[in-house]
Amino acid sequence: MGIEPVIMSAGELESERAGEPGKLIRERYRTASQVVQNQGKMSCLMVNDIDAGLGRFGNTQMTVNNQIVVGTLMNLSDNPTRVSVGQDWRESDITNRIPIIVTGNDFSTIYAPLIRDGRMEKFYWYNELE
């Protein structure tokens, strides 16, 4: 398809340091934007198995990083051209809008406002070999 994806795994959505996964998402999003701007290629941010990193299963607890990651993804969905660099906001710094593609097995475990219609477009694939 000619798309240059910037890929993350669910394992990168948690860290011993608070805020690191949210920062990593913003950096990867900006990297995808730079691919578009500097190389003229289409790009996207792809997060594999997001439910494994953000899903709520049984008695698991949300961590600070889970909350920050959800907030970061919601902000990128709502304000895709304004992405902070560290803690600094530069008025002239406009980011290209980049699609965020996530894969997962059970989206019912994800914080509902993150996956609501209007914020996330859903496409389902079913294995028809069974």
Domains defined for the chain, CATH in brackets: 3-114 (3.40.50.300)
pLDDT for 92 equals 67
Mean pLDDT over 59-88 rounds to: 84
3-state secondary structure of 16: coil
Instruction: State the Cα angle at 30 between 100 and 26, rounded to 5°.
Output: 70
Q: Is the pLDDT assigned to residue 6 strictly greater than 90?
A: yes
Residue pointed to by tokens 């290209």: 96
48-52, 82-86, 110-114, 121-125: lowest mean pLDDT where?
82-86
Beta bridge partners of 24: none
Mean pLDDT over 107-127 rounds to: 86
The overall average pLDDT reported for the chain is 88
Cβ atoms of 50 and 122 closer than 8 Å: no
20-34, 37-51, 87-101: lowest mean pLDDT where?
87-101
- Which two structure tokens, joined as six digits, stand for 8? 């993350």
Q: How far apart are CA 124 and CA 29, in angstroms?
A: 24
pTM of the model: 0.86
pLDDT for 62 equals 77
